Structure 1
Amino acid sequence: MKAWVSSALIAMMLLGTGAVAQAKSLSRIIAEMGLSPADFEVLNAASNSLLTTGTPRVGQERSWVNDQTGSKGTIRVRDIRNNCVHLQHFIQPEGTDKTREIRTRRCKDASGNWILTP
C-alpha cells in the first residue's frame, strides 16, 4: 500500500495537476504522460538511484531505458536548495520522437529519505 501511495504522489507531482489529479487513477495519470506503468517504475528507480548513490550535485544526470517498451529518458539535478533537490525529467515515450520535460522536487526527511514534495 505504501508503495502505491508513493507512486501515486510521484505521478501527481510529475503531472503538476494538483487536486485534479487526485480524482484520477494512477494508471490514467501515467498513461496521460505517455508512459506505461513499467516505464514509470524504471523512471522512478532511476530517480531513486540518482539520489541514493552519493551526494547529488547540480548537473548530475542519470539516463533510463525500458528495454521492453522502448521508452527512455534522462533525469538531471537542476538545483539544490536547503535540503531539497530539484529534478528535471526529459521523457521520450515509446513510439514518439517528442521529448517531454517534467520537473519534480524531493526533500530529505529527518531519517535521510528522499520524499517527493510539492
Structure 2
Amino acid sequence: MRFLPAAAVAVAVLLPGTAVAATPSTVTYAPSTAAIANPGRGFFTYTETHFGSYTPLSASSLTKARVDQARSLVYRIFYLEKYQAVDQISAADLALVRADFAAARAAGVKMVVRFA
C-alpha cells in the first residue's frame, strides 16, 4: 500500500494531455570585456611550503590573482620533511595550515591541497 500514492502520481504524469508545457523565455545579457573566472576550474596559482621554513599564504595576493588573472584555484603543496621520523604533526604547524585555509577563504578561492 505504500507504493500506491507514488504509482498514482507516476500514472497521472505519464497520461497524455496532463503534461504542462514550459513557456519559453529569452534572457539577454549585456556584453562585457571583463575576465570572468570559471570557479573551481582553469588556471591556478601554484604555491608550496616546507614545514621548518614555512611560507604562509597571503589573502591579498590570492585576491589579486583571482581578480587580475581570473585564477580561482590555488594549488598548495605542504612538504613534510620535518616529520619524516615523527608520527604526528604539531599543533603549531596545524595552526599554520588552518591560517592558509582561512586566507584562501577570505580571498574567495578554492584550494587543491597536497602533502608530500
TM interval, short-chain normalised: under 0.3
Whose strand fraction is larger, Structure 1's or Structure 2's?
A: 1
TM-score, normalising length: structure 2: 0.27
**Which one has a bigger Cα radius of gyration?**
2
